[in-house]
């Protein structure tokens, strides 16, 4: 179940954000000054096959794969996000519905709606 990471340090010039995590998901949520969600990033499939579904107000959804940059165990490279193919909406939707039971209902519903409605199933 997703649990909030408390005491995030604000980043200069960035809207207020929250971070929720469990063994499969990381959910980052940004809020505009009135307190509405203006952006989120849902990372799923961690740690072995991590992908990211990102939504931003006015821009819509993007789907990416997280390339950890680790070709050998001797290197320590920075992960980067690269474009990815088909989004497994049905699978991610089912997993998120189960993991999001501890979130505020409005937030969980909004993210689930984007998962289900943003890309064809």
Neighbours of 111 (CB within 10 A): 22
Taking all residues of the chain, what is their mean pLDDT, rounded to a whole number?
86
Q: What is the pLDDT of residues 4-51, one digit of tens each?
A: 999 888 888 889 999 999 999 999 999 999 999 999 999 999 888 899
**pLDDT above 70 as % of the chain:** 81
Helices (H), 17-104: 89-99
Domain range summary for the chain, segments of one domain joined by +: 3-118
Q: Give the pairing type, strands 60-67 and 16-21.
A: unpaired
- For range 49-59, the mean pLDDT: 92
Strands of the sheet with 60-67, listed across from one edge: 3-5, 16-21, 25-31, 37-44, 51-56, 60-67, 80-83
Tokens found for residue 66: 């997280």
DSSP secondary-structure letter at 101?
A: G
Q: What is the pLDDT of residues 101-111, one digit of tens each?
A: 999 999 999 99
At residue 113, the pLDDT reads 94
Q: What backbone torsions phi and psi does residue 2 show, to the nearest 5 degrees?
A: -65, 135
């Amino acid at each position: 179940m997703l649990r909030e990471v408390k005491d995030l340090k604000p980043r200069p010039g960035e809207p207020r954000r929250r971070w929720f995590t469990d063994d499969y998901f990381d959910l980052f949520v940004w809020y505009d000054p009135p307190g509405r969600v203006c952006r989120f990033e849902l990372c799923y499939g961690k740690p072995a096959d991590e992908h990211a579904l990102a939504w931003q107000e006015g821009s819509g959804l993007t789907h990416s794969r997280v390339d950890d940059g680790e070709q050998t165990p001797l290197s320590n490279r920075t992960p980067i996000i690269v474009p990815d193919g088909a989004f497994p909406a049905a699978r991610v939707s089912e997993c998120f519905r189960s993991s999001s039971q501890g979130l505020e209902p409005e937030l969980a519903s909004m993210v689930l709606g984007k998962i289900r409605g943003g890309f064809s199933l």
